[in-house]
């Protein structure tokens, strides 16, 4: 919880550090998919999109019916400019939970991050993945 709080309050590096420590301390924890989801979120906010993708894929493998990991995968792929992968991840999330994805596409304030700039960052990348935003908007987010 500390890692999530730190990352979502704007101290992305500290959040990642805490979350990695939790994963190392309890590698068989039943909450591991959630930790991976939180690591994907924190890494994406830190603009480490490669790590965010890796964590989102791990979370998705462990919990394939969770749309959040797919939205985070879309964010990371859009951040790296891999638009076809971003669109595919978002479409898969949409098949699982269409209402969830629609809210994420339409409302920046649907993201749980404390800082408005973090909410807009994630929202812009999801909108790029959804074809609602010009892909050039990601250039300032890299």
Share of the chain above pLDDT 70, in %: 100
Mean pLDDT of 30-45: 95
Distance between CA atoms of residues 131 and 32, nearest Å: 32
Mean pLDDT of the chain: 95
Residue 37 contacts residue 72 (beta carbons within 8 Å): yes
- Residue 46 — pLDDT band, cuts 50, 70, 90? very high
Residue 26 C-alpha from the chain's centroid: 22
Please indicate, yes or no, whether the overall pTM of this predicted structure exceeds 0.75.
yes
State the pLDDT at residue 11.
Answer: 95
With a cut of 80, say whether residue 142 has pLDDT above it. no
Q: What are the Cα distances from residue 74, in Å, to 1, 28, 141?
A: 24, 27, 14
């Amino acid at each position: 919880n500390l890692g999530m709080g730190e990352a979502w309050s704007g101290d992305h590096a500290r959040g990642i550090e805490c979350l990695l420590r939790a994963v190392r301390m309890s590698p068989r924890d039943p909450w591991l998919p959630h930790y991976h989801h939180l690591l994907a979120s924190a890494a994406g906010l830190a603009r480490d999109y490669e790590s965010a993708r890796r964590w989102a894929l791990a979370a998705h493998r462990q919990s394939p019916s969770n749309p959040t990991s797919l939205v985070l995968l879309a964010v990371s792929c859009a951040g790296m400019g891999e638009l076809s992968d971003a669109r595919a991840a978002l479409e898969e999330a949409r098949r699982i939970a269409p209402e969830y994805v629609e809210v994420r596409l339409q409302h920046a304030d649907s993201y749980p991050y404390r800082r408005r700039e973090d909410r807009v960052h994630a929202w812009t990348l999801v909108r790029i993945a959804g074809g609602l935003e010009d892909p050039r908007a990601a250039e300032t987010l890299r």
